[in-house]
Amino acid sequence: EVHLVESGGGLIQPGGSLRLSCAASGFTFSSYWMHWVRQVPGKGLVWVSRINSDASRTNYADSVKGRFTISRDNGKNTLYLQMNSLRAEDTGVYFCANLQWRANYWGQGTLVTVSS
């Protein structure tokens, strides 16, 4: 059975940093691009970032470029999102996901709240 379990969310002040983790199991994690998607509760889905299977390529939404860094450790089957210089508009539930069809897996999300 596939599991994606996010952790690391919480309440953080503007300008602070957080590191999200996503532990994967039940599929060949090292074979897939992995993504982070954000959702403000009650609002829509926003793609944040992706990383390719061997971590040689990354892409970011303009809103987080230069502040967030996606990475992965295929030996630990874990995806990360380092979030620096956090802003109120970064608030939301962060999902890690494999968006590939026939392997489309999502975690349950971890809530990040940026507020003073």
Partner 1 sequence: DIQMTQSPSSLSASVGDRITITCQASQDISKSLDWYQQKPGKAPRLLIYDASTLETGVPSRFSGIGSGTDFTFIINSLQSEDIATYYCQQYNDVPLTFGGGTKVEIK
Q: Any idea of the CA torsion for 62, 80, 67, 65, to the nearest 10 degrees?
A: -20
Q: Which one, 3 or 15, has the nearer CB to partner 1?
A: 3
Single residue of 50, 68, 92, 112 touching partner 1 by CB under 8 A: 50
Output the smallest distance, CB 116 to partner 1, in A: 27
- Let me know the angle formed at the C-alpha of 104 by 100 and 106, rounded to the nearest 5 degrees: 125
Decide: is 25 part of the binding site for partner 1 (CB under 8 A).
no
Write out the H or E segment, with its range, that includes residue 71: strand 68-73
Per the structure block, which two tokens stand in for 38? 């954000």
Token pair 């994606």 is found at 4
Find the part of the chain contacting partner 1 (CB under 8 A) among 23-31, 46-54, 71-79, 81-89: 46-54
Query: Which residues here bind partner 1, judged by CB under 8 A?
Result: 35, 44-47, 50, 59-62, 95, 97, 99, 101-102, 104, 106-109
